[in-house]
Structure 1
Amino acid sequence: MGTTGNDQDRIRGDRGSAEKPSPRALVAGATGYIGGRLVPELLDAGYRVRCLARDPRRLRDQPWAGRVETVKADVTRPDTLPDAFADVDVLYYLVHALGTGADFEETDRRAALAVGRAAKAAGVRRIVYLGGLSPRQVPERLLSPHLRSRAEVGRILLASGVPTAQLRAAVIIGSGSASFEMLRYLTERLPVMVTPSWVNTRIQPIAVRDVLRCLVAAAGLPDDVSRSFDVGGPDVLTYRRMMDRYASVARLPRRIVLTVPVLTPGLSSLWVGLVTPVPSGIARPLVESLRHEVVCREHDIARYAPDPPQGLIGFDEAVRLALKRVRDADVATRWSSASLPGAPSDPLPSDPDWSGGSLYEDRREVPVDAGPEALWRVVEGIGGDNGWYSFPLAWSLRGLLDRLVGGVGLRRGRRDPHALRVGDSLDFWRVEEIEPGRLLRLRAEMRLPGRAWLELTVTPDGPSRATYRQRALFRPHGLAGHAYWWSVAPFHAIVFGGMARNIAHRARSYRGS
């Protein structure tokens, strides 16, 4: 729930009091990758934040939703902007039409013109825009459509009459960033790849944390500063080298890259579309931009946003941060709203479905003619001597195979035949989370080319009915992980389907006990 009308009146009334209110920042693009991560940074810096969105409902599940004011407006419709821009000190313009169609340049142009005029009319003190880093030696008309549009938007805002800071970044490293996701999927899914010559283009990537730090600082620039700033990390790498370094951080074998001169940007984007889930409307403009060298020519932003004492985040550390959440946190953090993210590298509910790497899922749901207590009794008693309620030979064979490759197999059993607690071993699983009567989540400890979870949930439907839900989740590691999932997928109906049916059947047998 955002700020109410009474709250707004009170805030405006405070302007006449002795205590000066905190400045208000309007974030246009709060549903996007950068915007969703910038909002909590601004809140922590003491700003009152208003979020502009065409559909404010998309912000409801954000962890910071209750701390901001939301307004419904559309940057391509000038008549919707005056109320959104009222009493705004600094406007963050983080909107891009990339991925909306072939005419995205025209859409970006119209939106930038409307926003610049509305900001000027409303008396906005400063505009901060995150644009794209482009080579200065290449005329704007020869840039890729993506970089050309970013440059044009920056030029329009700088000419708006409102002091503007345009931060120009190349590839932003962070889970959820389209450029990073494309790099992730290409590297993880292809141990050997034939690539166009753009893999030898030099790029200066930047960690999302450093981008956010600069964006927050840009709001406080002196009023007479209106210009572009190049922002980049400490490393300048070719795209090929970025793939090599990613593979090293992700503990993948070194990738074999063969370059050929014949793949046009169009063919390259088709190739990327086949290998990655990044939508073609986004992948193609990004691929076309990779033909340009994007390296910072200055670091003037450091005058106003000094580098941290430990220095800018390097490429390898930025990748580690982007991957860390998946490795260290439980599965609910990334794939449900059970936990709230707390760092820029953490996922957000508004991140696109194709971000965050691959996650395979087998989902089952069975209505049960038994009370939730009876169903939970079966769920909590799973494993060990009670078995897994499904095709015992398959489970025994999987345990044997695990032992043959040095895993724990099924020999560990369970600590207690009836009760479980977090941290308990359960055959070749480990109890990662348990909510008595509702949820049991197990993390696989068998030898796998990836990470796996099994989640069992009980939902009451009345005193004598419940719904049993089961999710098997697998995050592959490299091509071997994808191959493993698809090799065992044909057996899921037998193993996991049978498991769900038999658990429901066993619960019914407890009804009279």
Structure 2
Amino acid sequence: MASIAVAGATGYVGGRLIPLLLAAGHEVTVLSRNVQKLRDVPWRERVKTVEGSMEQAHAAAQLCAGADIVYYLVHSMSGSKGAAADFEKVERLCALNLGQAARDAGVKRLVYLSGLHPEGELSRHLSSRTEVGEILLASGVPTAVLQAGLVIGSGSASFEMIRHLTDVLPVMPAPKWVLNKIQPIAVRDALHYLMGAAELPSTLNRTFDIGGPDVLTYAQMMRGYAAMAGLRSPTIIALPVLTPWLAAQWVNLVTPVPRNLAIPLVESLQHDCVVAESDIMEYIPEPEGGLTSYRRAVELALRKIQADAVETTWATAHALSAPAEPLPSDPEWAGQKVFTDERSKATAAPASKVWAVVEGIGGENGYYSLPFAWTVRGWMDKLAGGVGLARGRRSPNHLQLNDTVDWWRVETLERGHLLRLRAEMIVPGRAWLEFEVTPAKEDDGSVFRQRAIFFPRGLWGRLYWLAVLPFHGVIFKNMASRITAAAARVEQVREQGS
């Protein structure tokens, strides 16, 4: 097993590569500007950390010391505002520092993840990444520069741009670059090639193009995303007059992708980005089962995100089990849009009494808040062809997994602790209502937590949530208060009786 160093551990690819390196038995050292950002990642205690930046020669030297292989996964355009404004200069300095440090430390292999690009004039972003690769190739240390197109997976800035543009805009005026050819690659396949690069012959010093099996236009990628997300295919109107700068401002306005990322990404889309050679196949075979199609990569990302967002209650994210899975170190703007309404209430009533109220919710017992509003919503659902509130409950006081509760279905039941109801009403998205009861730590009371979760489907889903938001502010607040109050009354009656 090798001693491996990784620059860019808190980045999208780096955070997913490190668990694979550890699983393969390698010793791993990581470099991060702020090691506190690694606090919640599951592998934090299994790696050696170096705090600093590749802009600092001493930090680069410390990272490379004793390393057999160094992965360089840093892109300064996503750093501070100052770095983003002049990222070419910063990238050049970082590459020179790494090359010198790796040569001095006797590193056997450098691996750099760059971008696919055509010959000729390039955007600032692609030109800078190409220059970094050239610096490392000339460093005297054998270097593998893997040139990838758009990486598809939750958290990837490129994928997030596709996701949010498609989710929000059923009709999109776009620059003519939406018709350019792009060869995206699933994050799992990019990681496969990165892992394989550690085994390349020691004399190899060159670039390799890597990509998935599909060559698509950006418009086709948006339509493919819509199909996998269950959205109506967007109408995309290519406009020859929309400049890259204006397009980037539009992306920044419509999506949560930061402007310092949106501008270089949009500029890069001015070019066709497709694989020009497939020499990597001579050294690293395709993953078992073949390369992942674009639509399959989207499907994997969407499925995992939705499962995590619902399954994670009030705990931190669990260990990474798939490359498409969100990580604690991912940026705040990453991931599918999800709306939540969370309430928490402490009560003197014991957890058992609060749970009894929770398990009896719905049906004739109602929802402890504005019963007329719930009735009206039930009528509306019924008129729209939904199930309404007429189904009621099987039992007034007890639930079983998969029971119906009006327009809900019991999806998760941890008796005495957790109840999650999945909505079966007609709604532009997917919705859950979740209740959790835990004993208080300091006395005989308990803590009641309530959470409404909504995954909007396209623009209409977001508008729906905004329309009902004022009512939620009243309904869910009253629900939490009255459920705990009902439990407290039961406890008071019990105490008076005793």
Same fold (TM over 0.5): yes
Q: Which moved more, 1:38-47 or 1:455-464?
A: 455-464
What does residue 482 of structure 2 align with? 502
2:458 maps to amino acid:
G
What does residue 424 of structure 2 align with? 445
Against the structure 1 CA distance between its residues 66 and 417, is the aligned structure 2 distance closer, same or farther, given a 3 Å change threshold? farther
Against the structure 1 CA distance between its residues 379 and 184, is the aligned structure 2 distance closer, same or farther, given a 3 Å change threshold? same
| 1:48-84 Cα shifts (integer Å, max 9, x gaps) | 2222222222223223334333332322222233333
Secondary structure of residue in 2 paired with 1:510: helix
Aligned counterparts, 1:464-475, within 5 A = 464-475=444-455
Q: 1:109 aligns with which of 80, 92, 99?
A: 92
What does residue 42 of structure 1 align with? 21
1:423 and 1:349 map into 2 onto residues whose CA distance is 31
Secondary structure of residue in 1 paired with 2:77: coil
1:35 and 1:154 map into 2 onto residues whose CA distance is 18
Against the structure 1 CA distance between its residues 335 and 438, is the aligned structure 2 distance closer, same or farther, given a 3 Å change threshold? closer
What does residue 8 of structure 1 align with? none
Aligned counterparts, 1:315-330, within 5 A = 315-327=294-306
1:358 maps to amino acid:
K
What does residue 225 of structure 1 align with? 204
Count of residue correspondences: 488
Aligned-pair RMSD on alpha carbons? 2.0
1:416 and 1:119 map into 2 onto residues whose CA distance is 69
1:224 maps to amino acid:
T
Secondary structure of residue in 1 paired with 2:76: coil
Secondary structure of residue in 2 paired with 1:95: coil
Q: Is the 8 A contact 1:333 1:340 kept in 2?
A: no
1:109 maps to amino acid:
R
Against the structure 1 CA distance between its residues 422 and 52, is the aligned structure 2 distance closer, same or farther, given a 3 Å change threshold? farther
User: Post-superposition shift, 1:191?
Assistant: 0.8
Q: Is the 8 A contact 1:332 1:338 kept in 2?
A: no
2:386 and 2:315 map into 1 onto residues whose CA distance is 30
User: Post-superposition shift, 1:461?
Assistant: 4.6
What does residue 397 of structure 1 align with? 376
Q: 2:128 aligns with which of 149, 161, 168?
A: 149
2:340 and 2:230 map into 1 onto residues whose CA distance is 23
What does residue 12 of structure 1 align with? none
What does residue 382 of structure 1 align with? 361
| 1:184-206 Cα shifts (integer Å, max 9, x gaps) | 11112111111111111111111
User: Post-superposition shift, 1:388?
Assistant: 0.8
What does residue 432 of structure 1 align with? 411
User: Post-superposition shift, 1:167?
Assistant: 0.4
2:309 and 2:222 map into 1 onto residues whose CA distance is 27
1:28 and 1:70 map into 2 onto residues whose CA distance is 10
User: Post-superposition shift, 1:484?
Assistant: 1.2
Against the structure 1 CA distance between its residues 67 and 226, is the aligned structure 2 distance closer, same or farther, given a 3 Å change threshold? same
User: Post-superposition shift, 1:427?
Assistant: 2.2
2:214 and 2:203 map into 1 onto residues whose CA distance is 31
What does residue 465 of structure 2 align with? 485
> Does 2:107 match 1:124?
yes
1:295 maps to amino acid:
V
Secondary structure of residue in 1 paired with 2:85: coil
1:129 and 1:427 map into 2 onto residues whose CA distance is 55
Against the structure 1 CA distance between its residues 478 and 120, is the aligned structure 2 distance closer, same or farther, given a 3 Å change threshold? same
User: Post-superposition shift, 1:437?
Assistant: 4.0
* Unmatched tracts of structure 2, length 5 or more: none
1:484 maps to amino acid:
Y
User: Post-superposition shift, 1:440?
Assistant: 2.6
Q: Is the 8 A contact 1:334 1:347 kept in 2?
A: no
Secondary structure of residue in 2 paired with 1:358: coil
TM-score, length-scaled by structure 1: 0.90
| 1:432-490 Cα shifts (integer Å, max 9, x gaps) | 33444443322222222111122223342532443333221111111121121111112
What does residue 443 of structure 2 align with? 463
Against the structure 1 CA distance between its residues 64 and 434, is the aligned structure 2 distance closer, same or farther, given a 3 Å change threshold? farther
Secondary structure of residue in 1 paired with 2:352: helix
Q: Give identity over the alignment, percent.
A: 52
| 1:276-306 Cα shifts (integer Å, max 9, x gaps) | 1111111111011111111111011111111
Secondary structure of residue in 1 paired with 2:172: strand
Q: Is the 8 A contact 2:429 2:455 kept in 1?
A: yes
User: Post-superposition shift, 1:343?
Assistant: 0.7
Q: Which moved more, 1:226-235 or 1:396-405?
A: 396-405
Q: Is the 8 A contact 1:461 1:467 kept in 2?
A: no
Secondary structure of residue in 2 paired with 1:511: helix
Q: Which moved more, 1:30-39 or 1:403-412?
A: 403-412
What does residue 217 of structure 2 align with? 238
Secondary structure of residue in 2 paired with 1:98: helix
* Unmatched tracts of structure 1, length 5 or more: 1-21
